[in-house]
A = this chain, B = another copy of it.
Amino acid sequence: METQDTMNGAESLVKTLLACGVDTCFANPGTSEMHFVAALDRIPGMRCVLGLFEGVVTGAADGYARMAEKPAATLLHCGPGLANGLANLHNARRAQTPVVNIIGDQATYHRPLDAPLTADTEGWARPVSVWTRTATHAATVGADAASAVQAALGAPGGVASLILPSDVCWDAGGKVAAPLPALPVPKVSPDAVQNAARLLRSGQPTLVVLAGAALREGALADAHRIAAATDARLITPMSNSRVTRGQGRLAVDRIPYSGDAARQKLAGIRNVILVGATTPATFFAYPGKSARPFPEDAVIHVLARPEEDLGEALARLADELGAGAAPLPAGQGAPVQAARGAITSEAVAQSLTALLPEQAVVVEESVSFGRAFYPGTVHAAPHDWLQLTGGAIGAGLPLATGAAIAAPDRRVVALQADGSGMYTLQALWTMAREKLDVTVVLLANRKYAILLGELAGVGANPGKTALDMLDIGNPDLDWVKLANGMGVEAARAETMEAFNDLFQGANQRKGPFLIELVI
């Protein structure tokens, strides 16, 4: 524990974060954070990345930690700045992403005056956070920061929100805190392993739902051993934080978004074994329909809870089953050719399979047009696949921004629908400023396509009012101009040939490029 009487709270906070391994800060600062900004300025070692809107900041922190496997800090301005970042913190919460979420706020003694920006900062932070604290003294804010990092990294990971009154920053007496030890990861129960083995040996149709850390390369290899030795059907939730996949890796289907399609696909399942997943449910309820994506009478079992060691659980289950090594199929023989002609979901998936750079990081936010992307790219070069996890649209471009900061040697490919892209389009500016190697494939269908399907499901014969509320094509958005306006080069593709050329060119250049794919 270092003590320096001349150090203020903000300096002790920055030094503690660095000591805890947090060296990247996504920021949208305001007046109450100026002492923190000044401390970042004086103390070397923290990479500060500016976002022009807080949803960019929080989504980038999510994308960063998914790839870096350690948290970034955010810097947000008061309750309303936090509020602007909440939707992507909700997604980070659902992704179980570690984030050290720092929110500057009114000085402790100014707060009772109810100045214009005063808001219920803690109340807004708590629902997305595994840990929430308002710092009270310069002497303890270093220790608060060390606790926040520890809490964010506690299995399975989450958002730790530290509210930072400005006087806590500027007061003298800051003390740098040492990193706290990692919180223990609970061991999987031997009973749970034996129960799962018994089910898998029973011959009953059994679904194994893999989520979170079970979707990484080593854990997937053990899941493959299990499936090869039994009749287990492996599946993942519809939305996942990060999946390692592509040639030479196990391809696992996702539970379909549509409950009807899911129940059809999973008809006959008798047992469901959860590995890091919570009990799957459809995104929404529909009148007279089940919320379960599998048969009503299937029995739920837990091999491992999200906070347990999922890799160990799968390895032990495979051993219990006596499952031997199960080689994965080698890569496809002849390379897939990029698709030609009309732009379809399947054609884009085919071109991605042919052209995706080795070790790309794919960020997908396209529920409707993107239906073929995930199943259609299992034979692409090895890559990671990141998704919107909490349904709060506007995650894609920020996730891509953060992933590119965390993985500067890999190409990031953002497959981004236009409706959701508009929520956080300011991320393009950060990509330009930081010269990030991101290829944005902007899927311009000029409507909220998923909602048109939902409206049809309501049984309505939609009139002008309804159609207008789901149509974002009047006027058409021009994404080439929007990207250029924020310093990102861009071009439009109206055929697969044009897309293939632009995509290959984009992936070979330094810095970001946006392809507006008119679909």
Contacts and interface: CB of A to CB of B under 8 A. Distances in A.
B29 A469 contact: yes
Interface in A105-159: 106-107, 109-110, 113-117, 119-120, 123-124, 126-128
A431 to B, nearest CB: 10
B460 A281 contact: no
Interface in A381-434: 389-392, 394, 419, 422-423, 425-426, 429, 432-433
A2 to B, nearest CB: 22
Interface string A471-484: 01011111111101
Contacts of A81: 87, 392
A304 to B, nearest CB: 18
A332 interface: no
A90 B84 contact: no
A55 to B, nearest CB: 7
A352 interface: no
Contacts of A469: 27, 29, 37, 40, 48, 50
Q: Which interface class (under 10, 10 to 19, 20 to 34, 35 or more) fits A?
A: 35 or more
Interface stretch (A173-181, A197-205, A451-459, A498-506): A451-459
Contacts of A116: 94, 239, 283, 389-391
B79 A83 contact: no
Interface in A28-54: 29-32, 34-35, 37-38, 40-42, 46, 48, 50, 52-53
Interface string A85-101: 01100110010000000
Contacts of A38: 455, 458, 460, 462, 466
Nearest to A488: B475
A267 interface: no
Given A37-B465, A50-B469, A50-B472, 5 more contacts: A48-B469, A52-B472, A86-B86, A477-B485, A478-B485
Interface of A: 27, 29-32, 34-35, 37-38, 40-42, 46, 48, 50, 52-53, 55, 78-81, 83-84, 86-87, 90-91, 94, 106-107, 109-110, 113-117, 119-120, 123-124, 126-128, 166-167, 170, 239, 278-279, 281-285, 287, 291, 389-392, 394, 419, 422-423, 425-426, 429, 432-433, 450-451, 454-455, 457-458, 460, 462-466, 468-470, 472, 474-482, 484-487
Q: Which 5 A-B pairs have the closest CB atoms?
A: A475-B487, A80-B392, A481-B485, A120-B127, A83-B86
